[in-house]
Amino acid sequence: MVEEVVSTATKENRTTMTDAAVNPLKAGLEDVVVSPSEICYIDGHKGRLIYRGYDVDDLVAQSTFEEVTFLLWQGRLPSRKELDAHLKALASTANRKLPPKLIAMLKMLPKKTTPMEVLRTGVSALSAFDPDAADNGREATLRKSLRLTAQLPTLVAAWERIRRGKAPVAPNPRLNLAGNFLYMMSGKKPTPLATKTFDIALILHADHEFNASTFAARVTAATLSDVHSAVVAGISALKGPLHGGANEQVMLMVEKIKDPAKADAWIHKALADKARIMGFGHRVYRVEDPRAKHLKRLALELGQQVGDTSKVQILDTVVRVVGAEKHIFPNVDLYSGAAYAAMGISTDQFTPIFAMSRIAGWTAHVLEQHGNNRLIRPRSDYTGAIDLKYVPLSER
| Interface with ligand COA (CB under 6 A), residue from 150, 157, 216, 278 | 278
Query: What is the smallest separation between the CB atom of 226 and ligand COA, expressed in angstroms?
Result: 27
Give min distance, CB of 113 to ligand COA, in A: 24
Site for ligand COA contains 379 (CB under 6 A): no
Torsion (CA) 375, 378, 384, 390 in degrees, nearest 10: 20
Instruction: Answer yes or no: are the C-beta atoms of 209 and 368 closer than 8 Å.
Output: no
Distance CA 155, CA 157 (A): 6
Kind and range of the H or E element at 40? strand 40-43
Interface residue with ligand COA among 101, 111, 326, 379 (CB under 6 A) is 326
280 is a contact residue toward ligand COA (CB under 6 A): yes
Output the smallest distance, CB 315 to ligand COA, in A: 13
Which one of 281, 301, 316, 376 is in contact with ligand COA (CB under 6 A)? 281
For ligand COA, what does the binding mask look like between residues 233 and 252, x meaning CB under 6 A? ---------x---x------
Burial class (CB in 10 A: 0-12, 13-18, 19+), 58: exposed
Pick between residue 12 and residue 273 the one whose CB is nearest to ligand COA.
273
283 contacts ligand COA (rule: CB under 6 A): yes
Given 175, 328, 376, 385, the residue binding ligand COA (CB under 6 A): 328
Quote the CA–CA distance of 133 and 98 in Å, as a whole number. 15
Collect all residues with Cβ–Cβ distance below 8 Å to 263 and sequence separation of at least 6: 257, 313, 314, 317, 318, 321
Q: Which is nearer to ligand COA, 106 or 212 (CB)?
A: 212
Burial (CB < 10 A; 0-12, 13-18, 19+), residue 157, is buried
Binding of ligand COA by 14 (CB under 6 A): no
Residue 372, Cβ neighbours under 10 Å: how many? 9
Report the residue number, 133 or 328, with the smaller CB distance to ligand COA: 328
Nearer to ligand COA, 160 or 289 (CB): 289
Residue 28 touching ligand COA (CB under 6 A): yes
Size of the site for ligand COA (CB under 6 A): 16
Partners of residue 54 on adjacent β-strands? 51
Torsion angle, alpha carbons of 194, 196, 197, 199, to 10: 120
Query: Could you give the angle at the alpha carbon of 233 between the alpha carbons of 228 and 237, nearest 5°?
Result: 145
Indicate whether 90 belongs to the interface with ligand COA (CB under 6 A). Answer: no
286 near ligand COA, judged by CB under 6 A: no
- Residues forming the active site: 282, 333
Q: How many Cα atoms occupy the beta-carbon half-sphere of 383 within 13 Å?
A: 6
Residues that bind ligand COA (CB under 6 A): 28, 242, 246, 276-283, 326, 328, 331-333
